[in-house]
Amino acid sequence: MAIGNFSLPFTQQTTHKMDIRTRPSKYAQSDIRNWAFEQSDGVRPAEYFSPYRCLPVGFQDTTTEDWVVIPKGRIVAALSTEDSTPVSGIVYPSSSGKIPLGFEPSELGSTLLSGYIDGSYFGYDEHTVGLLVPCNGGTTCTGFYTADDVTAQIIAYSGVYAIAGGPIVMPANIPVGVVYHDWYQDIRGKWLNYKAHPDGGGILTDYYVEVPYVKVSDTGSYSGVNPQYNGSTYANQTTWRNVNKIHTYLTINGNDSEVLRNGCFVASDYIGNYKLQQATTSFTDASGVAVSTGWTSYNQFRTTQTVGKIVAIDNRFPKGGLDDVMTYPRSGMPGSQTAGLPKALFDFVYQCIYIGTGTAPTVEGIYDAVRSGDFGLVRIKLLIA
C-alpha cells in the first residue's frame, strides 16, 4: 500500500503567503544591548599590555639569558596612540606605523628591518592598546642606555642600535598600575627560532604590597647612600645601576625634611620606584581662604600621581629567631648569613651601603642599619584609580 504525501504541493512550484501571529504584548521584553560595560574587577584590569620596545634593559635572566626591562614591583605608565612621537610606538590604525625589528646580516648590507604595528606578525597584538614604561611622576625624564643595552641589541627609536650613554627621553606620564612580575625585553622579530616568554600581560591597581625603604641624607652614617635616580647624568645612573636595575624600593629624603609615617601617600620617582608624595603645607578651601594643614613633610591629599598609602613600617627584624638558623652564603634563605633578615631586604641594604660609602658592610652592619630605622620594609595599599 502506498503512503500518500498528504497532498503537499511538491510539484506545484508555487508558494503561498501565510501571516504570522503577532506576539502578545505581555510576552514582550526589552532588546538585549550587546555592550560589555563591565570588563573586570579593579585589582587586575582586563587589559593586555606590552612593554615599550625601546626601553633600556635592567638585568639578564641567568636561566634563559633574556633581558628584563621592567623589574617586578615598579610603578608603570602606559603609552597609547594619544602619546606623540618619538616615544609612542603605537599610532592610529589609519596611519599604521612601523617598529624596528633588527638588522640584516652585514653581508646583506645591515639594513634596518621593520614591521608594521598592525599588519605584521611582529607588530603588537590587536588587543594591545598600551605600551608600559616606568612611571616618572609627571616629570619629563631623560634616561641613558648602558653597555648592557649594547649587548642586548636594543634598537633606539631613531632606528639604530643603542650606544652606551645614548639618551632616551620619556614624556611626563601618569601611573596606571604596578607590575607584579619581571617584564622581559620585546624581542619579537629578533630571532627566527626563539620566544620563551609572553609578549604582554597585566598590571595591579589595587593590592597590598611590600617594598624595602631607605632614608637618604647628606649627614649621618649613610650620608652617601642615595640610590634614587635624579635623571641628570649618565654617571649617576651607572653609579647606582646595581641597585636600580634589580630592586624596587621607597626613598625618604631627609634632605627635604621628609618624615616617614603610616598613612602617607606615595607617588613615583623618575624610574617607577616609590617616594613620599610631594609635601604640602596648606591648601585653598572652597571660599578661597588658605588653610594650613599642619602636615609639613607629607601630603594627605590624593592626586593623579598618587600610587598608594603606607599602612605599615617594619624594621623589627629578625623575627622568629631566624638569625639563629644556620645558612650558607647566597642560599637565598633568611638565617645566619643574613642576620635573620629577608634576603631581598638584606641584598638591598648591602648594595646601598656598599655603593654609597665605598665599603662593603658586614652582616652585623646591615643588621644595625635596619634596626636603627635607616632601612626597613614598608607595606603599601595601592590606590591607583
What is the tens place of the pLDDT at every residue in 72-125?
999 999 998 888 655 667 877 777 777 777 787 778 777 887 777 776 667 787
CA 179, 182, 185, 191 dihedral sign is negative
| Confidence band for 49, pLDDT divided at 50, 70 and 90 | very high
pTM, entire model: 0.85
Helices (H), the chain: 147-152, 234-239, 241-244, 343-357, 363-371
DSSP 155: B
Residue with C-alpha cell 639569558?
65
What is the tens place of the pLDDT at every residue in 191-245?
778 877 888 899 999 999 999 999 999 888 899 999 988 666 888 889 999 999 9
The C-alpha atoms of residue 305 and residue 138 are separated, in whole angstroms, by 7
Looking at per-residue pLDDT, the higher value among 16 and 286 belongs to 16
For the record, the C-alpha cell of 50 comes out as 606590552
